[in-house]
Amino acid sequence: MKIFSSFLFFTLVSLLVVTTEAASQPNVIFVLADDLGIGDVSPTNQRCKIKTPHLQKMADEGITFHDAHTSSSVCTPTRYGVLTGRYNWRSRLVRGVLSGTSDHLIPADRATVGHLLKKVGYHTQMIGKWHLGWDWDRTGNGWKNINFSKPVKNGPDINGFSNYYGHCGSLDMPPYVWVDTGRVTAIPNREEGVSKGEDPYGWYRKGPISPDFEIDQVLPHLFDKSIAYITERANENKPFFLYLPLPAPHTPIVPVAPFKGMSKMNPYADFVMQVDHHMGDLFKALKIAGVDDNTLVFFTSDNGCSPEANFNELKKFDHHPSAEYRGHKADIYEGGHRVPLIARWPKKIKAGQNNNTLVCLTDLYTTLLDITKQKNMDQAGEDSYSLLPLFNGKQSNGRSTLISHSIDGSFAIRKDNWKLCLSAGSGGWSQPREAEAKQKGLPPMQLFNLSQDKVERNNLFTKKPKKVKELLELLEKEVRNGRCTSGNPVPNDRKIDYLPKGYKPS
């Protein structure tokens, strides 16, 4: 009996310690905007013509990173990097993005921030645009073969999320249904879509839509769900992690009243203002719930701005979504992957900081590892460095390189201010595209010194062969090791080919 009592006593003490430690940990909210450029918010662009007062207030009360990057210049691969702390190109996704009917990309045994936080007592929730695939019950390819009455398998729940609520792909990709932790909330009862000719901003592909899914109400609905979640979890004695990937300002660009026309520029600018407004509501909810001081909130974007924003129209108002940088969404140039990144944590982050350290969205994993004081494994967060030292005012966190990836699978490697693009053109949608660049006989790679050439116009590839060789060797090492961080070499999920086709190093 005494032995049993002692065992029970120590078990209760252990549980009490874990519970107490968990309760002292910060809540974490990671907001990922969709197709928002670095020039579209005032904290990262002083010349921004879109009014974003709530994000500016967030920056004034926190830290803004001015050299922050996504691991890819498009949606799906960046999301993979955010959740795993691993470069997306190490996975089976070679190029492009998934669709709304794609099977799951992240296997259940791949470490994620969800698993990491759940392990130390967090409730973990995903609300929003998943775009990493889940497994519909279907008899063939495409949405016409889906049985919406059957459970969805291998959703965010296998990747460390206690619960999830969202849609599978981008908001212009069918099917248009809500899935709540494996269950469709309402069976689609019709097909719906809007062509570009009908609405150049608000178009979305035709497909099945549920009666409870309203395209122009998706953004406010997701913030309403998130605020309800914050309110609910604030009453529990355990921390929470909310991953909130937004569908905006990606197409369909559908601002609602009173934001429609508010910018006096175009619907894209209106939609950005609506995102900013909802962020204000989120912070208000944190204060009302009494958890604001010890909640770490990130705000960022999955890649640069899309041409769907209508750059020519915005230019009339002297607004530039990529600010002074070249390119946009899909490109290997800076405008494709350099994004706003703001963090606010009143209890720990000194207000009003601006940081120029090179960081990547893959760094979320090790940041949360450090905050929760856990030990890392070899095959986890392989390309992730902690932001915690930067929160505390330091100007370095150990990251000195960055490997970027474009929509067509082109690579770039950055070391300090030197950047080598392993493509003749943009690797994406801006001019010159790859086929055009090759037709023009442009060099197979592009070398830029970003400290002297932010706009990436002066290609030094033929003038600096030693620098090219140095960067190629560095890229080879980080590819081969399966990681860019220190630690034991680990395997990639596939054979990685990064050199341009036909190029043979001398």
Q: What is the pLDDT of residues 468-485, one digit of tens each?
A: 999 999 999 999 999 999
Distance, CA of 444 to chain centre: 29
Residue 15 has pLDDT above 60, yes or no: no
Residue 7 has pLDDT above 90, yes or no: no
Give the three-state DSSP class for 383: coil
Residue with tokens 């013509």: 49
Residue 11 has pLDDT above 80, yes or no: no
Residue 279 has pLDDT above 80, yes or no: yes
pLDDT at position 23 is: 58
d(CA 253, CA 203): 8
pLDDT at position 503 is: 80
d(CA 148, CA 303): 31
Tens of pLDDT, residue by residue over 377-434, are: 999 999 999 999 999 999 899 999 999 999 999 999 999 999 999 999 999 999 999 9
Model's pTM, two decimal places? 0.95
d(CA 39, CA 321): 4
CB 38 within 8 A of CB 339: yes
pLDDT at position 19 is: 46
Give the three-state DSSP class for 191: strand
Residue 10 has pLDDT above 70, yes or no: no
pLDDT-derived band at 21, boundaries 50, 70, 90: low
Query: What is the average per-residue pLDDT within 449-462?
Result: 97
CB 326 within 8 A of CB 338: no
pLDDT-derived band at 22, boundaries 50, 70, 90: low
